[in-house]
Chains A and B, each alone.
Chain A
Amino acid sequence: MTDATLTHTYTYADLPGLMSLMTGDEKHGPAATSTLDVLWVLYDRVLRVSPEGRDDPGRDRFLLSKGHGPMAYYAVLAAKGFLPVEWLPGFGSYDSPLGHHPDRTLVPGAEIGSGSLGHGLPIAVGTALGLRAQGLDEPRVWTLVGDAELDEGSNHEAIAFAGPAGLDRLHTVVVDNASATYARPGGIAARFEAAGWSALTVDGRDHDALYAAFTAPHPGRPHVVVARVEPKSA
């Protein structure tokens, strides 16, 4: 959607206003705002993907695995011109393409539909394998998961495979709002590292720290960034 109505460039400061256009999923409000800075830094500074090039085989892929509370995601996609801002107020209504969990067949720029936790990382592994098999070495594959989402065992099948498989185009960002059950301090990065991943833990609200972690070299290994934000229960 090359959106001719996109008459001005949105900035980070516009995101709260865009998010406020969406109502009805306040239950997931904390989940939505926890991802806001990570999503903005990725789409603003890291991902090589544009509305015009969203079918380009050479584009970077971003797979939102944690589909709960997608208001920040829709706001960023709208700010970057993937979908019209006019769609946002319809959020969750019958005729809207924007549900409380995203559907890739309805949302321009969404690489996957999500909502059931633990699906994005395995699909991201397959995406990285598929690109590698076709000699597409440039595109990077990113997936965003929540720390509680990592309680799902399917993630651990993917984590354990991707490290030894040397999927160095694969990136995971874990938005850690301390919502996991039975979590141990430092456990997230340790589990990725044990499987051979490169791992960095940063302040999930610090844009420069996020950017530095997102772009840190990790030759021969997949890369995880644990982005810590204020606890959900706080």
Chain B
Amino acid sequence: MDTMRDRFAPVVSRLLDEDSRVAVVLAAIGTDGFAGAARRHPGRVVDVGIREQLLVGAAAGLALTGLRPVVHTFASFLVERPFEQVKLDLGHQDAGAVLVSAAASFDWPAGGYTHMAPGDVALLDTLDGWTVHVPGHPDEAETLLRHAVAASDDKVYVRLSVQSNGRALPVDGERFLTVREGRSGVVVAVGPMLDAVLAATEGLDVTVLYATTVRPFDGAALRRATEAAGTDVVLVEPYRAGTSTAAANDALADVPHRVLGLGVGRRELRRYGQVEEHVAAHGLDARSLRERIGSFVGAAVPA
């Protein structure tokens, strides 16, 4: 199967053809996919080289002239390295952009910690007004990229990953989907975590919600789910564990509730290897999830 990132350049190239407001800003990464679009729209495909402060600053300038910049590189170099540019050049200047990241939390484990960004969504959570899409399948990535670019002058982050579910669901760029209904707890699976969560909760009496747009957090969907399934809530996120715990708490502020935030651990593993090995090391494989979710919701976990 192709990856979300394989879809990125073709989809955004079509958007460049369709909408003269759209511009793409790159920093030496992902340029090959835009070679054709750059020939057709030379002014609206810009590669600034390995200069990530300029990447975000120039995107802000493009936005201030009325364009809709789509900005792409690895998450570490898109959100973390130029974080002040994200905060000031976009946020404080009141300029919109679509930031599209690759490499996610550990898409390239052999590349080591320098190319891992499990803290990206938590960092954006320190800022106001960001929409965050975390697709779980290449088809969903296409849909959410289109939503992101079409979202007026909003600030939107799209987190692409090689981790993916087996099939796409009809995501709408806004709401959580109910995938399974139960009576003894609610599990929110974010993006590529869905398949592992479904396997982990097989036979457990829990509701499973599927979240691909995590900011704004669909607190209304979570509240509705707790009406039948109770207020034991587990969040399973493909980035830093607990990133959405506060959002879930806010959604349930007026009812007694418990929240368990699962995701990528804080400790630096200093390991290379394969994605599956890192998934397991962070306790995000189906077997580990089953134990952790089962014990939290008090279910007797069948062997």
Contact = CB atoms under 8 A, between A and B. Distances in A.
B88 interface: yes
Given A134-B67, A157-B51, A157-B53, A123 B44 contact: no
A131 B54 contact: no
A161 B46 CA distance: 11
Contact of A161 (B48, B60, B64, B88): B48
B93 A157 contact: no
Nearest to A112: B93
A122 B58 contact: yes
A127 B48 contact: no
B88 A158 contact: no
Interface string B38-66: 00010110101101011011111111111
Query: Which of B43, B49, B61, B63 is the most central at the interface, judged by chain A CB atoms within 10 Å of its CB?
Result: B61
Interface of B is mostly: helix
B57 A130 contact: no
A123 B65 contact: no
A225 interface: no
Given A119-B88, A160-B51, A113 B93 contact: yes
Contacts of A128: 61
Interface string B137-155: 0000000000000000000
Interface in A103-146: 103-105, 111-113, 116, 118-119, 121-134, 136
Interface in B1-52: 20, 23, 25, 41, 43-44, 46, 48-49, 51
B84 A123 contact: no
Contacts of A112: 64, 93
Interface string A143-179: 0000000000110011011000000000000000000
A57 B65 CA distance: 7
B64 A130 contact: yes
A112 B61 CA distance: 9
Nearest to A164: B49
A132 B64 contact: no
Contacts of A118: 53
Nearest to A158: B54
Contacts of B46: 129
Contact of A127 (B43, B61, B84): B61
Contact of B61 (A113, A129, A153): A129
Contact of A126 (B20, B41, B60): B60
A47 B23 CA distance: 27
B57 A119 contact: yes
Contact of B57 (A57, A105, A122, A136): A122
B48 A130 contact: no
A103 B56 CA distance: 19
A126 B51 contact: no
Contacts of A131: 65
Contacts of B66: 57, 130, 134
B92 interface: yes
Query: Which of B58, B60, B63 is the most central at the interface, judged by chain A CB atoms within 10 Å of its CB?
Result: B58
B2 to A, nearest CB: 30
11 contacts: A122-B53, A122-B54, A126-B69, A128-B61, A130-B23, A130-B63, A131-B65, A133-B43, A134-B43, A154-B85, A160-B49
Given A125-B58, A129-B58, 19 more contacts: A103-B92, A111-B64, A122-B58, A122-B61, A123-B58, A123-B60, A125-B57, A126-B63, A126-B65, A127-B64, A128-B61, A129-B23, A130-B66, A133-B23, A133-B44, A134-B43, A153-B53, A154-B53, A158-B51
